[in-house]
Amino acid sequence: MRKIKIIVLPNTRTPIPAKAYSSHYYIINLTIGLLSNADNLFMKRFILFTLIITCIVTFSAAEAAGNTPFREEGIASWYGREFEGRPTASGEIFNPGLFTAAHRTLPFGTLLTVTNTQNMRQVNVRINDRGPFVVGRIIDLSEAAAAAIDMIDAGTVPVIVTYADNAAEISPQPPATTVAQAPPPPPNIVQAPPPSPPPPSPPPNIPVAGTFFPAPPARIMGTIPSADSTGLFRIQVGAYRIPGNAVETFDRLRSVGLNSAFYEQSGEFIRVVLTGLRAQDIPQIAQSLGNLGFPEVLIRQEN
């Protein structure tokens, strides 16, 4: 019959097999045994002091290992419309207009900052695919992400990849400038700066474009109205077979203030459209859509 060693700690009622203990339980039991066999008070204090120092060193080393930042340098490539609509390795349908990327090992959903070291442009991407499978390359960007760091024409560029939370560590710092100091005013004279004019308020439902990288406006397919055109217009942002993709586009539009976004059912497709738009607002809306990663949209006049 196989014998199982049983350890019972003080003030416990249920015996537990010794192999169920992890290393820190073993250290506690060992310390209790040493304290029980210590002959004098000095030896007991020495054992307790040694245990405290060991715990501090162990926990400090574990915490330092867990805070190591991620940083990777190498060559980035990109892939686009030829893979549109196909499932990625994560099961998500590939959309070249979203800021996503493929990496060989990082978990799906990881947020990264990719910096083009040739022009120091940056873009934040989300890992949803596996690749690239070419020697020397470390990341494969979507078409929208590649356009954001100006690498479409080059095809491949050297990059630095970090977690998105560490993006500030690699941001290029502007050179220090020396500002000439004006002579102090005469005593008892207070010089007030001239009042600055209030900033112009944006038109209703039109978001102010603002991202940390420049993006081209969305290309408008169809007849572009002149600024003095009368009537209202609508823009089709996308048409999707999968309802989840339509919901994602709808939420992204609403998140930047494009509150005129709606769904339309057309056969097996679900369209996401912006309705009730004025002609003079079309250029600013196109810029906002470009910042969101939508390369082209369809416009027509409402009845």
> Kindly report the CA angle at 110 between 105 and 114, in degrees rounded to 5?
90
Residues of the chain with CATH 2.40.40.10: 71-169
CA distance 235 to 286: 9
Q: Say if residues 51 and 31 touch (Cβ distance below 8 Å).
A: yes
Residue with tokens 């940056």: 122
Give the per-residue pLDDT at 18. Answer: 41
- Sign of the dihedral through C-alpha 284, 232, 293, 110: positive
Residues of the chain with CATH 3.30.70.1070: 219-301
Whole-structure pTM value: 0.37
Q: What is the mean pLDDT of the chain?
A: 77
CA distance 46 to 36: 13
CA distance 150 to 154: 8
In the structure encoding, which two tokens stand for residue 135, read together? 């020697």
Topology (CATH level 3) of domain 219-301: Alpha-Beta Plaits (3.30.70)
CA distance 24 to 13: 20
Within 10 angstroms of residue 118's Cβ, the number of other Cβ atoms is 13
pLDDT of 10 higher than 70 = no
CA distance 91 to 108: 10
Q: Which contiguous run of DSSP H or E holds residue 159?
A: strand 157-163
| Tens of pLDDT, residues 144-191 | 999 999 999 999 999 999 998 744 433 333 333 344 455 666 655 556
| Tens of pLDDT, residues 187-239 | 555 566 677 777 766 555 555 444 445 578 888 888 888 888 888 888 988 88
Mean pLDDT for the stretch of residues 106-134: 95
- CATH number of the 71-169 domain: 2.40.40.10
